[in-house]
A and B are shown apart, each in its own frame.
Chain A
Amino acid sequence: MLGHSNFEFEWISLYKFQCRRMEKFNHGRVLFAGDAAHQVSPFGARGANSGLEDAENLAWKLDRVLRGLSPERLLESYHIERSAAADENIRESTRSTDFMAPTTHQEARLRKAVLALAKETDFGKRMINGGRLSVPSVYETPLSTTDADAWSGGPRPGSSMPDAPIAGRGCSAAYLTEAFIAAGTRFTVLAFANGAAPDVPPDVGVISIGGADFADPTGLLGARYDAAPGSAYLLRPDGYIAARFRHPTRAGIEAALARASGLN
């Protein structure tokens, strides 16, 4: 494995870990997150990442509930979204664990075959599972508004917002996520300009691409969002897509906002 055998063991010990999660992350006024709610094997950097994602998911909901803007049941979506993410993390990291520590003779034999084939095949290389890096989960969640328009790409509601370079006019943001943070990390409409700015409710941020605010110099942003003039995405405060519209209306945005806030 190291290319030579000229080494001595200095220290060897057993490292134990568990893959499991709580059945419910919410218990009345006590909310569980991170390692308290779920534990995974270390493969894929999923432990710390999912802890941060839990916090990101919970913070804005808790804030809205504490300020009386959303009913307490909004917190139920924290359990729905993050327990599914925990299941995904456990499944992925268990696969990595099994690849590295096969539990049966045949499993070891299949791994040996993968490693042997990897020397000269692309498919063999891609089957080597030394840990798959964590990517944001896609949520099946009651906070999402189902697409009413036709889309041939772009992030569907429940997905994390893809990033892309932007060019600000009189603003230093170089990436969409920076503009999102500059807009207040709140419910924000990402609008691809088509004449007049979209009519959005108060307290909702706007990032307008191709209009007065930002340009899409590489075209990557438009491509990643399957954008056409007038297309708009409603982003949640955690950077997830709540809804998207080919022709946004004030009523449509308000309905999606209410849904994403747990108000209906």
Chain B
Amino acid sequence: MALSTSSNFARPDDAFRMIVESHRGLADTQSGDLDAALVLILANHIGDLDVLREAIALAKRRVLEADQQQQQQQ
């Protein structure tokens, strides 16, 4: 099974909103704690190391490397 990156939610805005609102009113450290728990819960739900590895690679590629590129351009 490969990581699915096609849009899986019928209403993607609802999903994004639900995550955003779960952080409302939280301090940064609490938000970090919440995210850590969510990552573990969802990783276990997926239950597939290959998918998890692909997800980590995608996140790193898009977030960390994109950050670096932005810094280089500035």
Contact with B along A107-125 (1 / 0, CB 8 A): 0011011101100010110
Docked complex Cα distance between A112 and B40 (Å): 11
Closest residue of chain B to A123 (Cβ to Cβ) is B44
Instruction: Verify A127–B40 contact, CB threshold 8 A.
Output: yes
Instruction: Verify B33–A109 contact, CB threshold 8 A.
Output: yes
Instruction: Verify B36–A110 contact, CB threshold 8 A.
Output: yes
Contact with A along B5-36 (1 / 0, CB 8 A): 00000000000000000000000000011001
Chain B at the A interface: mostly helix, strand, loop or mixed? helix
The smallest C-beta distance from A60 to any residue of chain B, in angstroms, reads: 37
Contacts of B66 in A (CB 8 A): none
Q: Which of A114, A121, A123 has the most CB of B within 10 A?
A: A123
Chain A at the B interface: mostly helix, strand, loop or mixed? helix
**Residue from B36, B41, B44 in contact with A109 in the complex, judged by beta carbons closer than 8 Å:** B36
A residues 120-173 near B (Cβ < 8 Å) are 121, 123-124, 127
Docked complex Cα distance between A124 and B40 (Å): 8
Count of chain B residues near A, Cβ 8 A: 8
Contacts of B32 in A (CB 8 A): 106, 109
Closest residue of chain A to B41 (Cβ to Cβ) is A117
Contacts of A116 in B (CB 8 A): 37
Closest residue of chain B to A122 (Cβ to Cβ) is B44
Instruction: Verify B33–A117 contact, CB threshold 8 A.
Output: no
Instruction: Verify B44–A112 contact, CB threshold 8 A.
Output: no
The smallest C-beta distance from A43 to any residue of chain B, in angstroms, reads: 21
The smallest C-beta distance from B8 to any residue of chain A, in angstroms, reads: 22
Contacts of B40 in A (CB 8 A): 110, 113-114, 117, 123-124, 127
Closest residue of chain A to B47 (Cβ to Cβ) is A123
B residues 27-65 near A (Cβ < 8 Å) are 32-33, 36-37, 39-41, 44
Instruction: Verify A113–B33 contact, CB threshold 8 A.
Output: yes
Docked complex Cα distance between A117 and B36 (Å): 11
Please, could you name 18 A-B residue pairs with CB atoms under 8 Å apart, sorted by A? A106-B32, A109-B32, A109-B33, A110-B36, A110-B39, A110-B40, A112-B33, A112-B36, A113-B37, A113-B39, A113-B40, A114-B40, A116-B37, A117-B37, A121-B41, A123-B40, A124-B40, A127-B40
List 4 tightest A-B contacts by C-beta distance, closest first.
Answer: A113-B37, A113-B36, A123-B44, A109-B36
